[in-house]
Structure 1
Amino acid sequence: MSPTPQERRAARHQLGTGPDAPAARRGPSGGRKKPITVDAIIASAFGIVEAEGYEALTMRRVAAALETGPSSLYAHVVNKEDLDELLIGRLCAEIELPEPDPDRWRQQITGVCTQLRDQYLRYPGISRAAFASAPSNLDTLRVGEGMLAILLAGGIAPQTAAWAIDSLMLYVGAYSLEVSLANRRLARSDEEWVVGRDELLRRFAALPDTFPNSKRYAAELTAGTLHDRFDFTLGLMLDGLG
């Protein structure tokens, strides 16, 4: 008897995402189409997110891209949440983790967070897939393990390090989602909602006098690039650790 999708998922979590038996194609064109595999599903899902954004990703949409029905996907993937975990795991697999260095722990943890940010930004909105879930994918857990090792090497207490990783991951995901949303609006020429710094300064200058600080410090409020602010916020968070 073939393994169930749940058994396939459990095997992936124990051994990593390895090759799986392709699902057989049915119908007269079955022999001419590429077989359905976990890798094929993941690749199609990434293609949809890259072209249309994460909000467009559904199991039915992936099935259509593979020219099959949703039931063919469920032979390999339990549900949309399982697919989400596979996607985040595949991105995490590409992150390089340094050998923990007590003298460079701040730079090292910042480097890991920056890599994760850049991975998320490759696929608009995909960081949503990492929210509200306890990871069990080995590639995702590997990143958490590496971050924990870096913080512990830096002398951070275990409980503090554990919660810090959660906070850092949450910030990286939220930052990446906001940037992705802004970029999608820019791509649609939605200038009413995404404006440049000059327009922001004009709007601050036009505020009534009941906003004295906002008017006076408008330059500071609008200064820096998005990634400048990302680095600043990570620095604030790490300053709180020691």
Structure 2
Amino acid sequence: MSPTPQERRAARHQLGGASTGAPAARRGPSGGNKKPITVDAIIGTAFGIVENEGYEALTMRRVAAALDTGPSSLYAHVVNKEDLDELLIGRLCAGIELPEPDPTSWRQQIAGVCAQLRDQYLRYPGISQAAIAAAPSNLDTLRVSEGMLALLLAGGVDPQAAAWATDALTLYVNAYSLEVSLVNRRLDRTDGGWVVSRDELMRRFAALPDTYPHTKRYAAELTAGTVHDRFDFTIGLMVDGLPGAR
């Protein structure tokens, strides 16, 4: 008897990677002319939907339609939407390169890992939502948190602080990536009226009443830098404040 989706999911957690299992047979007159349904086919199709339409468009029914099949064919391999989310984030995490921890450059190393994760998420608009509030159980996802923890510990960070910092850094990367995706989506809208340029923001700050003296005086500082400049600043701020850090 073929393993159930739940059994395949448990096996992925134990062995790592996404086991494709036995392909689901196609039904109907043209079934023999279509590519079989596999976990990899589902993952690849899901990524394509997110890349072209955004994460909000990703549903099991939408993936099934793109594969020219019914949702029941997907459930032979994937437990549910949450399981699919876990597979997608795991696949992105599998592409993260983790350096050998170096006590002399651990700050740059942890910042580099965070930047890699950010860039992976930004390839697929809004996909970091799939990682928010999800317990890391996929082994590819756990590999990244394990690597981040190792880097922080190599820097002399107290173990409890290192553990919480791993969670905080990951949460910030997720939230940052989501915000950038939302802004980019607004920029792509035809009306173009929902994203305010820096010049317009400066003009609005300058027009504020005198009850906002600091905002008016430091408008240039408040609006300075690229989004990635702010990302680098925040990661550095979080890391430099950790107890015990060398």
Q: Same fold (TM over 0.5)?
A: yes
* Alignment correspondent of 2:182: 181
* Alignment correspondent of 1:100: 101
Name structure 1 gaps, 5 residues minimum.
none
Alignment partners' CA distance in 1, 2:127 and 2:190 = 21
Letter in 2 for 1:75: A
What SS class does the counterpart of residue 18 from structure 1 fall into?
coil
Q: CA deviation at 1:196?
A: 1.1
* Alignment correspondent of 2:11: 11
Sequence identity percentage? 83
Q: CA deviation at 1:15?
A: 1.2
Asked if 1:67 corresponds to 2:68, the answer is: yes
Q: CA deviation at 1:99?
A: 0.4
Alignment partners' CA distance in 2, 1:191 and 1:208 = 27
Letter in 2 for 1:225: T
Letter in 2 for 1:15: L
Q: 1:205 to 1:189 in 2, by over 3 A?
A: farther
Alignment partners' CA distance in 2, 1:194 and 1:32 = 47
Q: 1:216 to 1:226 in 2, by over 3 A?
A: same
* Alignment correspondent of 1:144: 145
Letter in 2 for 1:211: Y
* Alignment correspondent of 1:80: 81
* Alignment correspondent of 2:155: 154
Alignment partners' CA distance in 2, 1:96 and 1:133 = 22
Q: 23-32 or 182-191, which moves further after superposition?
A: 182-191
* Alignment correspondent of 2:212: 211
Q: CA deviation at 1:190?
A: 4.3
* Alignment correspondent of 1:2: 2
Offset from partner CA, 1:164-208 (integer Å, 9 cap, x none): 000000000000000000000101144322121111111111111
What SS class does the counterpart of residue 236 from structure 1 fall into?
helix
Alignment partners' CA distance in 1, 2:20 and 2:201 = 51
Offset from partner CA, 1:183-239 (integer Å, 9 cap, x none): 001011443221211111111111111111111110010000000000000011011
Alignment partners' CA distance in 2, 1:215 and 1:201 = 9
Alignment partners' CA distance in 2, 1:43 and 1:186 = 26
Q: CA deviation at 1:2?
A: 1.4
Asked if 1:191 corresponds to 2:192, the answer is: yes
**TM-score for both structures, normalised by structure 1:** 0.98
Alignment partners' CA distance in 2, 1:160 and 1:209 = 42
Q: CA RMSD in A?
A: 0.8
**TM-score for both structures, normalised by structure 2:** 0.97
Q: CA deviation at 1:12?
A: 1.1
Alignment partners' CA distance in 2, 1:161 and 1:68 = 46
Moved runs in structure 1, 4+ residues, more than 2 A? 189-192
* Alignment correspondent of 1:228: 229
